[in-house]
A and B are shown apart, each in its own frame.
Chain A
Amino acid sequence: MYKQPSFWLTLIALVVFFAFISYAQNNFDAYVIRIMNVAAIYVILGVSLNLINGFTGQFSLGHAGFMAIGAYASALLYMSPELKAMNFFIKPLIWPLNRIQIPFFPALLIGGLLAAGAGFLVGAPCMRVKGDYLAIVTYGFSEIIRVLFNNLQSVTNGPLGLKGLPTYTNLWWSWGWAVFTVFFIKRLIDSSYGRALKAIRDNEEAAEAMGVNLFYHKTLAFVVGAFFAGIAGGLLGSLVMTIDPNAFNIMLTFQIVLIVLLGGLGSITGTVISGVLIAVLMEWLRIVETPMKIFGITIPGISGMRMLIFSIILMISVLFFRHGILGDREFSWQGVISFFKRRQSNRGG
């Protein structure tokens, strides 16, 4: 591994990338930095959902639920006791949550681990259901989380949500986690475990007959996917500074599914590209929601127009570009090297 040129190329690329990140953090304006943060969070969400939907073939719509768990768990841990007291004015926060405050990183990790636990709870019964039914069960789970968080006044502050969260999320945190997510999931799917996951996707019955433990591997995909969704939820909470249960509704899951479908089910590279693309588009398409004057006709700004456009993009991609941007192809240094070699030999001959 350490002797291959691709390892060093990856290392160099990472150093250059993080040099860029640290430059951006100090020099770009807050608006651009925010979009970049959102892009990183979308990358984490897309890649982790792709592990479940694309590589393991278990169509899950539960990502918003996992995110909610991660966002709330981490926020309740890193908020200061005074801030919590200010937020929970209807019903006080239960002990010991009202006393403790821990740093951002361990809070994020605990949020991720709790989401992973939820991933286990969802993944385990999913042995019994497949396809559309699984989608409904996982969607049901994320709705249950939402309703639960709306009503657990003394833990989540109910529909009031948590406000004024400290902003810890910066480009280092978000892109650091994004890079780690890509690394972890890429290594996982290229390993023997990943082959077992892909085998389950391609033919469950044959996979089982070849000794693949369906329960273990499906649950593994859910647990790993949910962990990173929880982390992304924690990062998002600290970025937007306010969370409420209804922010984690089906529309959020829909956006993540859109990222995965656009990027290509089973392509991490595609998901990274489409994650960034959607984050940028989300901002850029705000212009369709502002009042416009086209050829003398005034069109009033309609909020929600962006989602309409995304729906159209989704429909077009499902109808005409089934495999998304990259299908299941991946970026590789070998591919880049051979591409340049081919160009060189073409020029020579």
Chain B
Amino acid sequence: MAILKLDKVTKKFGGLVAVNNVSLELEQGQLAGLIGPNGAGKTTIFNVITGVYRPDSGKVYFMGIDITKKKPHEIAALGIARTFQNIKLFHRMSVLDNVRVACHFRLKASVFSAVLDLPKYAREEREMTKESLDLLEAVGLKQLANESAGSLPYGYQRKLEIARALATRPKILLLDEPAAGMNPEETAELMRFIKRIRDEFGLTILLIEHDMKVVMGICEKITVLDHGCVIAEGSPKEIQNNPEVIKAYLGSGVYARS
């Protein structure tokens, strides 16, 4: 059974149909890509999956549960985590605190036991801190744990965002343009990193990316969007040779000549 299933999802903004009747399935453990020209509706799909937008029609299923009407924090708690196209860290907080925030929803101790630092809370706090430090170690940021997140260099901020997403213990990780603004070396490292965390944490990953080297290099399945519609779906090879895709990216022959 598919771990994530979009069933004929449509999302309109006024007269603009951002996502048009899109159906999409992700298998457990898959590393899938979502590509398309600017404005194709890729990020809107992420926002629909994570509950930021409610679709006008269609349904989203996660492990068989209908999550279409759930709130973003509920969906995060169920096991779908994301990163953002334009990095959205908690800038004034430390690197460690950024990750610990993402553990917060699992906290069982009440506000009062947190304020009084009762043993129940203290134990949970220790566990959260340990888990967060382990995650920071996994992404190679442990030595920067006490720095302010806003002061990190760009590449580290991307990694911190992924570490933060992992702290929610997701089953699915949605990455929105993880390689944006990276040089070729950083991109190559990022590709290895994404594959590694997929295997290490047993994740299913869906990523949006403009860098074709990344998409073709690591994705097992690619979905191509154009003007809100799915125009192609398949392995990287199939996609590269699909005339529809070439048309969407480069324009049709007639327009290209004129």
A interface vs B, CB < 8 Å?
Answer: 1, 184, 187-188, 191-193, 195-196, 198-199, 201-203, 205-214, 220, 266, 328
* B 82-122 binary contact with A (CB < 8 Å = 1; else 0): 10100011111100011011111111000100111100011
Report B-chain residues with C-beta under 8 Å of the C-beta of A220. 111
Q: How far is the CA of A234 from the CA of B103 in the complex (A)?
A: 38
Q: Are A213 and B105 in contact (CB under 8 A)?
A: yes
Q: Are B117 and A1 in contact (CB under 8 A)?
A: yes
Q: Does B125 contact A (CB under 8 A)?
A: yes
Q: Does B76 contact A (CB under 8 A)?
A: yes
The 25 sampled A-B contact pairs (Cβ below 8 Å) are A184-B115, A187-B116, A191-B114, A191-B121, A192-B121, A192-B128, A199-B90, A199-B101, A202-B91, A202-B92, A203-B89, A203-B90, A206-B90, A208-B73, A209-B73, A209-B76, A210-B102, A210-B104, A210-B165, A211-B76, A211-B77, A211-B102, A211-B104, A211-B105, A211-B106
Report A-chain residues with C-beta under 8 Å of the C-beta of B101. 195-196, 199, 207, 210, 212
Q: Does B164 contact A (CB under 8 A)?
A: yes
Q: How far is the CA of A214 from the CA of B76 in the complex (A)?
A: 13
Q: How far is the CA of A199 from the CA of B100 in the complex (A)?
A: 10
* B 151-162 binary contact with A (CB < 8 Å = 1; else 0): 000000000000
Q: How far is the CA of A206 from the CA of B106 in the complex (A)?
A: 17
Report A-chain residues with C-beta under 8 Å of the C-beta of B84. 205-206, 209
Shortest Cβ distance from A223 into B: residue: B111
Report B-chain residues with C-beta under 8 Å of the C-beta of A202. 89-93
Report B-chain residues with C-beta under 8 Å of the C-beta of A203. 88-91
Chain B, 16-49, CB within 8 A of any chain A CB: none
Q: Are B164 and A210 in contact (CB under 8 A)?
A: yes
Q: Are A210 and B76 in contact (CB under 8 A)?
A: yes
Interface centre among A199, A202, A209 (most CB of B within 10 A): A209
Q: Does B50 contact A (CB under 8 A)?
A: yes
Q: Are A208 and B72 in contact (CB under 8 A)?
A: yes
* B 115-137 binary contact with A (CB < 8 Å = 1; else 0): 11100011011001000000000
A1-B117, A206-B88, A213-B105 known; A195-B76 Cβ under 8 A: no
Chain A nearest CB, measured from B190 CB (Å): 20
Q: Are B73 and A195 in contact (CB under 8 A)?
A: no
Q: Does B81 contact A (CB under 8 A)?
A: yes
Report A-chain residues with C-beta under 8 Å of the C-beta of B72. 208-209
B interface vs A, CB < 8 Å?
Answer: 50, 52, 71-73, 76-77, 81-82, 84, 88-93, 97-98, 100-107, 111, 114-117, 121-122, 124-125, 128, 164-165, 167-168
Q: How far is the CA of A212 from the CA of B71 in the complex (A)?
A: 11
Chain A nearest CB, measured from B134 CB (Å): 17
Q: Which of A188, A192, A199, A210 sits near B168, CB closer than 8 Å? A: A210
Q: Are B93 and A199 in contact (CB under 8 A)?
A: yes
Chain B nearest CB, measured from A211 CB (Å): 3
Q: How far is the CA of A187 from the CA of B122 in the complex (A)?
A: 12
A192-B125, A195-B93, A202-B93 known; A211-B114 Cβ under 8 A: no
A-B contacts besides A209-B84, A214-B73, 12 pairs, CB < 8 Å? A187-B117, A188-B111, A191-B115, A192-B104, A192-B114, A192-B124, A195-B101, A205-B84, A208-B73, A209-B76, A210-B105, A211-B104
Cross-chain pair count, CB within 8 angstroms: 104
Report A-chain residues with C-beta under 8 Å of the C-beta of B92. 198, 201-202, 266, 328
Report A-chain residues with C-beta under 8 Å of the C-beta of B89. 202-203, 206
Q: How far is the CA of A201 from the CA of B164 in the complex (A)?
A: 17
Shortest Cβ distance from B161 into A: residue: A206
Report A-chain residues with C-beta under 8 Å of the C-beta of B167. 210
Chain A nearest CB, measured from B40 CB (Å): 21
Q: Which of A1, A187, A188, A195 sits near B104, CB closer than 8 Å? A: A195
Shortest Cβ distance from B103 into A: residue: A192
Q: How far is the CA of A199 from the CA of B96 in the complex (A)?
A: 12
Chain B nearest CB, measured from A277 CB (Å): 25
Q: How far is the CA of A266 from the CA of B167 in the complex (A)?
A: 26
Chain A nearest CB, measured from B165 CB (Å): 7
Report A-chain residues with C-beta under 8 Å of the C-beta of B116. 187
Q: Are B88 and A205 in contact (CB under 8 A)?
A: yes
Q: Which of B104, B164, B168 sits near A196, CB closer than 8 Å? A: B104
Shortest Cβ distance from A191 into B: residue: B114
Closest 6 CB pairs of A and B: A211-B105, A202-B90, A191-B114, A211-B76, A206-B88, A210-B102
Q: How far is the CA of A64 from the CA of B103 in the complex (A)?
A: 36
Q: Are B73 and A211 in contact (CB under 8 A)?
A: yes
Chain A nearest CB, measured from B178 CB (Å): 15
A192-B128, A195-B100, A213-B73 known; A187-B115 Cβ under 8 A: yes
Q: How far is the CA of A199 from the CA of B99 in the complex (A)?
A: 11
Report A-chain residues with C-beta under 8 Å of the C-beta of B93. 195, 198-199, 202
Report A-chain residues with C-beta under 8 Å of the C-beta of B165. 210
Chain B nearest CB, measured from A91 CB (Å): 41
Report A-chain residues with C-beta under 8 Å of the C-beta of B115. 184, 187-188, 191
Report A-chain residues with C-beta under 8 Å of the C-beta of B121. 191-192
Report A-chain residues with C-beta under 8 Å of the C-beta of B128. 192
Report A-chain residues with C-beta under 8 Å of the C-beta of B111. 188, 191, 193, 220
Q: Are B73 and A212 in contact (CB under 8 A)?
A: yes
Chain A nearest CB, measured from B255 CB (Å): 37
Report B-chain residues with C-beta under 8 Å of the C-beta of A195. 93, 97, 100-101, 104
Q: How far is the CA of A203 from the CA of B93 in the complex (A)?
A: 11
Q: Which of B88, B98, B104, B125 sits near A212, CB closer than 8 Å? A: B104
Q: How far is the CA of A202 from the CA of B89 in the complex (A)?
A: 8
